[in-house]
Each structure stands twice: as C-alpha cells, then as structure tokens.
Chain A
Amino acid sequence: MKIIYHCFGGSHSSVTAAALHLGLLSKERLPTAQELMALPYYDKTNDDDFGSIHYMGRDEKGNEIYILGKKSLGNRFSHLLMGIAEMLGKEDQIMVVNVMERVNMSMKLGGFTSRRVSMPVLGRPVVIQGTRQAFASLVNMVEVIKIRILDLKQR
C-alpha cells in the first residue's frame, strides 16, 4: 500500500508524520531540533516542491510512505487523489492522509516565515517549537493510520 501524508508545504507536519510512521523519529520522546533538521525535506523545500509527491521510505510492513505539499487545498485534496486512484482502479492501493488538522499556529507561522518568506533564521526555531508542541498529536495520528492500514488489509 502507498500512504501519502499531505500538508500545506510538505515540509514540516507531513514530514514529521511520515518520519514517525517510518520509525525515523522515536514516538517515546520529543525530538530535538537537530533530529528534526536531519529528516529529509524537513524545512528544506521550496516553491518547486508544491504538488510533488516525495518518497520517504518503506515501513516495516512494506508500505511505501510519501509526503506532499498541496497549498491551501484542504481536505478536498484527499478526495481528489482518491478519486483519481478510483478512476485508475487502484483505490485499494492508496491511503491519503491530511495532516493539516494536527498543525498548530506556531507551525503555520514558523513554516510560513521560513519557507514562504525565506527567513529561516526567524521561522525555523518557531516551526521546530511548534512541531514539538504538536508531536504527541502527530504520534496519535500515525498510530491511528497504522491501525486503519491493518484493518484495511484484513478485510
């Protein structure tokens, strides 16, 4: 199965969720700034990355994990991607996860300042702090997704 985590820029929350899914971050403790910055794509994307589906890795069950930045298209983007998968007869091979509902104001402000305004010196500490604040919620979301994947595979 292919799992696509998507958020506004594909640079912070979706990367963190994908890293948790892949075990690149421990869910038992808060990640340090260095650990977050060591993740592929974390606070490193630019405008060309909007709309690009980036491969993050393969989980322990063999699922392929991807991330995607979709700007402000909201949850309708999940419906759009699932609609395309249905059209291609592949809807059982994909799960699309909107991470935006777990994003807090610090992540939005810090991410905007770092990536959109290109001022990482100001934005990066804020988005990292926001990611740490949202971490427990992201852990919970990824655990729910893993249960849903197991559930789907058992049907």
Chain B
Amino acid sequence: MNIIFLGTTGVHQTLLAAGMYIDPKFNRSYHTLSYFNDYQQEAGGHPIYIGRDYAGRRVHSLGVGADVEMVSKTINQLRIILDSPAGELQLIPIMIKSQRLISWLHKFARLAWLKPLSSYLIVLLLNREYDQIRQQIPRLTN
C-alpha cells in the first residue's frame, strides 16, 4: 500500500507531514528532512518517496500546485482506470494557510544563493502552522 501526502508543494508541508507520520517523535528538525525546499526535486513533478511506516506502507510526498482537489480527483480516477484496488493508494491532503506564500518563497530556492533565505522564511511559516499540519495526519491502523 502507498500513502501520499499531497499539497501545493511536495518539499514543504507535505514533506513535514510525511516525516511526522513516519516518526511520531519528529520535532521541528527540518534539516533532517531529505529534499526540504529542494527546487530540482519539486520541479520534476514526481511523487517523492520518503520511507516506510510502522506497517511497511510506502510513504510519499507530492506537490500538485494550487488545485489539490482537482489533482486528487485525477489520481483517484487513474487508480480506477489502472484497475488497482482502493486500498493500494491513500491520499492525504495537507492544507495550510500559508501554502501560497510558501510556494512563492520556494521560487527563490531556484537560485542557490537565495536558498538559505528562502529556507529560513519557510521554516518560520511552517513553525507557525506546525500544529495545524500535525492535526491533519491520520492515525492509520493495520
């Protein structure tokens, strides 16, 4: 089974949510998250594999731009067309107030010399919304 945390970008709030989900002890150590604010990774558009959860489910992060609901619909329809069972793919949207601002600040990360500033400001925003992100992570049972 696959779990996808999806949001406007795949290298910020969704990545953080995936990290929190895999490691419940995770506590704002953003620097330990591979791909955090990684412009190249985000530009590729592929789901980003983060790791496996306690039950062996594969956990991914995915950035889909502004219309998260539309892309969720497409992914669900694609699963049906490809004849995969519903249990094979679970989508968990992560929505926060500052997601647009984060997407905008992320564009700075395209330039290597602006990436530290971009990362710093994004961490500030994520810290403010940390509890909001945590509340959106489901407790999945086997």
Q: Which residues of A are interface residues toward B (Cβ below 8 A)?
A: 2, 50-53, 64, 66, 68, 70-73, 75-85, 87-88, 90, 93-94
Contacts and interface: CB of A to CB of B under 8 A. Distances in A.
Contact of B75 (A50, A73, A82, A84): A84
A68 B74 contact: yes
A80 B47 contact: yes
Contacts of A94: 78, 82
B64 A80 contact: yes
A66 B81 CA distance: 10
A84 B47 contact: yes
A76 B84 contact: no
Contacts of B70: 50-51, 70-71
Main SS class of interface, A: mixed
A51 B67 contact: yes
Contacts of B89: 84, 87-88
A76 B45 contact: yes
20 contacts: A50-B67, A52-B73, A53-B81, A68-B74, A70-B70, A71-B65, A77-B45, A78-B45, A80-B46, A80-B62, A80-B71, A81-B74, A82-B46, A83-B45, A85-B82, A87-B4, A88-B2, A88-B79, A88-B82, A88-B84
Q: Which 10 A-B pairs have the closest CB atoms?
A: A76-B45, A51-B70, A79-B45, A83-B46, A51-B73, A90-B82, A83-B47, A51-B74, A53-B77, A88-B84
A79 B44 contact: yes
Given A51-B67, A93-B82, 20 more contacts: A50-B67, A50-B70, A51-B74, A52-B73, A53-B74, A53-B78, A70-B70, A72-B65, A73-B64, A75-B45, A76-B44, A77-B45, A78-B45, A79-B46, A80-B64, A83-B45, A87-B2, A87-B58, A88-B84, A90-B84
* Chain B CB within 10 A, most for which of A52, A75, A76, A87: A87
Nearest to B62: A80
Contacts of A64: 81
B81 A2 contact: yes
B88 interface: yes
Interface of B: 2, 4, 43-47, 58, 60, 62, 64-65, 67, 69-71, 73-75, 77-79, 81-84, 88-89
A69 B74 CA distance: 10
A10 B45 CA distance: 20
Contacts of B75: 84
Contacts of A66: 81
B122 to A, nearest CB: 20
Contacts of B58: 87
Contacts of B74: 51-53, 68, 70, 81
Contacts of A79: 44-46
